[in-house]
Amino acid sequence: MTELAAAALVQRGITQLTGRSDSPRRDAEVLLQAACGIDRTALAKNPEQPVDAAGADTYFGFLDRRYDHEPVACILGRKEFWSLELELNASTLVPRAETELLVETALESIPRGTAVEIADLGTGSGAIALALAAERPLARITATDLNPDALLQARDNASRLGLAIHFEEGDWFTPLEGRRFDVIISNPPYVRDNDPLLQTGPALFEPPLALFGGQDGLACVRTLCTSVKDHLNPGGFVALEHGHDQQDAVKAMLSDVGLESIVGLKDLAGRPRVTTARMPR
Ligand SMILES: C[S@@+](CC[C@H](N)C(=O)[O-])C[C@H]1O[C@@H](n2cnc3c(N)ncnc32)[C@H](O)[C@@H]1O
């Protein structure tokens, strides 16, 4: 194959992805950079620079996967979260921008310079735990997951980023038997098993264990709420992410187990996505 100009490759990508992606130009540019090492600055400076056949082939393969709705983060095996570059594997959820609300909310409850004990349950790539570790270096953070392959990736991210997290494998609070924390945070799976949105689109490329929360989507939240009081210190804080139509149910569960100061928060799009509560003192 003859060498093709970088700008022509981007244009071809935009044409292929239009109608399949909300951001065809950005996707094409990011995939070209991953395949051939030509970033946006280099592209703007020299749009006619040639791309060799091997690089172009890799790029075309990436475009086909994106055309089939695979998220860019899954194709690249990495995603930025809270300004941290996280590597992903087949067992980790792609961290979502919405989850940064959970991190922001937890940070408001953790004064700087204090050695608080934090637990992140269902850590996946380690996104939440690592963001908290970056912002609160004195905190002692334990992160858990049921999936050992997700934990492998989270450990790898922690060591690459030089952030100290203690990892435990197991079912929700089981590996934390007898331990109490000042802050418990979780983004559990909360999608309904039969959600039609999941039959197509990006969710097909993500691990089911990270997505599905039973018939009403609330099975994992329910398990977490049932035991959370056994693991919070007096005055301790819990923050849970949930579906936009689940906040009333999550508030009721937290209230039923005797937590107080229950607050529902909305994400930037105005959807109710996080609920917090405190352990009585
Ligand atoms: C929605 S993902 C969240 C991942 C990550 N915390 C984030 O926000 O990007 C839910 C995580 O919970 C984990 N998980 C599912 N069931 C679990 C269980 N019974 N016990 C512990 N973790 C579980 C999944 O493996 C997945 O990593």
pTM of the complete model: 0.94
Distance CA 19, CA 154 (A): 34
Say which residues have a Cβ less than 8 Å from residue 102's Cβ, sequence separation at least 6: 128, 185, 187, 239, 241, 274
pLDDT in tens, 253-279: 999 999 999 999 999 899 999 999 999
pLDDT in tens, 215-241: 999 999 999 999 999 999 999 999 999
- Report long-range pairs for 156-160 (Cβ below 8 Å, ≥24 apart): 156/87, 157/84, 157/86, 157/87, 157/125, 157/126, 157/130, 158/126, 158/129, 158/130, 158/133, 160/87
Does 89-278 carry CATH code 3.40.710.10?
no
The residue among 131, 127, 12, 29 whose CA lies nearest residue 72 is: 29
Instruction: Tell me the best of 142, 145, 186, 191 to mutate to test the pocket of ligand 1, counting ligand atoms within 8 Å of each CB and taking the most.
Output: 145
| 199 confidence band (pLDDT: 50, 70, 90) | confident
Atom 11, ligand 1: residue with shortest CA distance: 122
CATH number of 4-68: 1.10.8.10
Instruction: Tell me the best of 82, 96, 123 to mutate to test the pocket of ligand 1, counting ligand atoms within 8 Å of each CB and taking the most.
Output: 123
Instruction: Tell me which DSSP letter residue 126 carries.
Output: T
- Inter-residue contact 154 to 165 (CB < 8 Å): yes
Residues with CB under 6 A from ligand 1: 93, 95, 99, 122-125, 127-128, 144-147, 150, 171-172, 187-189, 209-210, 220
Distance CA 107, CA 101 (A): 10
Instruction: Tell me which DSSP letter residue 37 carries.
Output: -
Atom 24, ligand 1: residue with shortest CA distance: 210
Residue 1: pLDDT over 60: no
Q: How is the chain split into domains, by residue range?
A: 4-68, 89-278
